[in-house]
Amino acid sequence: MKDKEVMPAAELQKQKLYAADVAAIMQVRAMGTEPKAFVRTYGCQQNVADGEKIKGMLAEMGFAFTDDENEADFILFNTCAIREHAEDRVYGNIGALKNVKRRNPSVLIAVCGCMMEQAHVAERIRTTFPFVNIVFGTHVIHRLPEMIFTAVTDSKRVFLRGEESKEIVEGLPVRRDGTARAWVTVMYGCDNFCSYCVVPYVRGREKSRHPDAIVEECRGLIEQGYKEITLLGQNVNSFGKGLEEKINFSELLRRIDAIDGDYRLRFMTSHPKDATRELFDTIAESRHICHHIHLPFQSGNSRVLKAMNRRYDREKYLGLIAYAKEKMPDLSLTSDIIVGFPGETYAEFQDTLSLIREVEFTSLFTFIFSSRPGTKAASMEDPVPYKEKTKWFAELLAAQEEIAARRCAAMVGGTERVLVEERNEKNGLLCGRTESSIIVEFPGDDALIGTFQSVRITEARNWILRGERIG
């Protein structure tokens, strides 16, 4: 691996020095006996992984963590730019911090993430929310200690975004949110430029981590007792491009799968244009990789897919699914769908409905088209009213609910291996997921959280299964 592909150690050492200075300063500035940070993350799993790195750095700076904004000395919102609704929610929550700042003028407020990589958003934050102290994008997370130091010592606002680098930052501290499930990023960015998607503009171009670094991170997590690892990337099937070593995603999976231990391995997101038979063969032959694939198809109509710049058609997608099911009859599939893409007709939408009925997905992540500034789709004619799109959307949800209910009902009487994640506070039952990523609830002690348990399924409740522990 070329040295230039990894952030120089000198830069990370500089940030550690800033972190030590911030720790000393915040001990004096803190409202209580120790400085406290409030961190809220919006959006996808990659944002969650970024948030865990942010919390790792904050911990190095001496911060404890709180769920109460009013007792925080540092407040950070880690934002998502995928949907307009998500952005609107962020603006509303930022606006509410004005009162927090009024009650505690010394509190530092930061906003980061994908939204901040859009120039018009950063400018809106600058002009509309003057109480926000720090604004930074997705490419400079590692410089958070320096940004906090500058904001405190120079008493000026810090704006740092748009500084994409070919270098990958390794070695950042991570404060993980759970003790059983962990996220591991294998690559960053996206080169696909789907016509509706802002990700390539806010996350940058594709960069793959060195496979040795990924394998060692996974090995460490398994040794620490983590039971499920999810590999992350905007398109994991592109892994390996640009590396000196000739390696693809299937080979990376095989190397991780070779690690001994009692754990599950998942990944997302997989792009159909780059999905291969080798990938499905690798999963089928593995010891630890779940027979569950998230493979977004977005639309069941080939013309719409071409307008989306997805670079596959309905036939290719169904061919991939047929091969995967042949290799893994127990395969669980999930997907993403956009309803009401500009120019889509009701007849074309019916192709989406027919595809989900043919494939029979375990679950779907469904969205009504949301125009994103700067994307090609934002300038396309969109004659179908939003109200009409909501009717299509309801039709889609009804079809998928019927499929999911039928699938869950068929599982009653069987036994599933469940990774117990938490206790449902509303009903008091333990809650976890099967290998196929279906939620299961059952009675039991807190000591079972973070372990695999065999659960006999006794009841199917829409999207959730109920059962009883065996043994």
CATH code of the domain in which 312 resides: 3.30.750.200
Give the count of beta carbons closer than 10 Å to the beta carbon of residue 216.
12
Question: Which segments in the chain show pLDDT lower than 70?
Answer: 1-5
End-of-domain residue from the set 387, 410, 433:
410
> What residue numbers bound the domain in which 329 lies?
299-410
269 & 305 share domain? no
Same-domain pairing of 35 and 97: yes
CATH number for 462 = 2.40.50.140
Domain CATH code at residue 107: 3.40.50.12160
**Does some domain include residue 377?**
yes
Q: Is the torsion defined by CA of 236, 241, 242, 243 positive or negative?
A: positive
Output the pLDDT for position 2.
43
Same domain (yes/no): 435, 350: no
Separation of alpha carbons 38 and 42, rounded Å: 13
334 located within any domain: yes
The answer to the question of residue 156 being in a domain is yes
**Cβ-based neighbours of 285, under 8 Å, separated by 6 or more:** none
Whether residue 29 sits in one domain with residue 47: yes
7 and 123 belong to one structural domain:
yes
pLDDT confidence of residue 162: 77
- What is the number of other CB atoms lying within 10 angstroms of the CB of residue 315? 9
How confident is the model at residue 5, as a pLDDT? 63
What Å distances lie between residue 221 and 116, 173, 184, 357, 440, CA to CA? 31, 14, 10, 38, 24
* pLDDT of 3: 39
For strands 363-368 and 108-113, give the pairing. Answer: unpaired
Give pTM, 2 decimals. Answer: 0.93
pLDDT confidence of residue 356: 98
Q: Assess if residue 454 is contained within a domain.
A: yes
The pLDDT of residue 4 is: 41
Tokens of 26: 């915040």
Quote the number of domains for the chain.
4
Do the bridges between strand 452-461 and strand 415-423 make them parallel or antiparallel, or are there none, so unpaired?
antiparallel
Backbone phi and psi for residue 436, each to the nearest 5 degrees, phi listed first: -80, 5
Does 403 map to a domain? yes
Same domain, 397 and 419: no
How far, in Å, CA of 340 to CA of 304, rounded?
10
Residues 346 and 276 in one domain: no
Beta pairing, strands 64-65 & 36-41: parallel
- Same domain? For 10 and 135 the reply is yes
Q: Is residue 171 part of a domain?
A: no
Same domain, 341 and 381: yes
Decide which of 105, 132, 160 is a domain's last residue.
160
CATH of the domain at 217: 3.30.750.210
Q: Are residues 385 and 436 in the same domain?
A: no
Q: Assess whether 268 and 314 both reside in one domain.
A: no
Query: Is there a domain that residue 172 lies in?
Result: no
Residue 254 belongs to some domain of the structure: yes
143, 15 contact by CB (below 8 A): yes
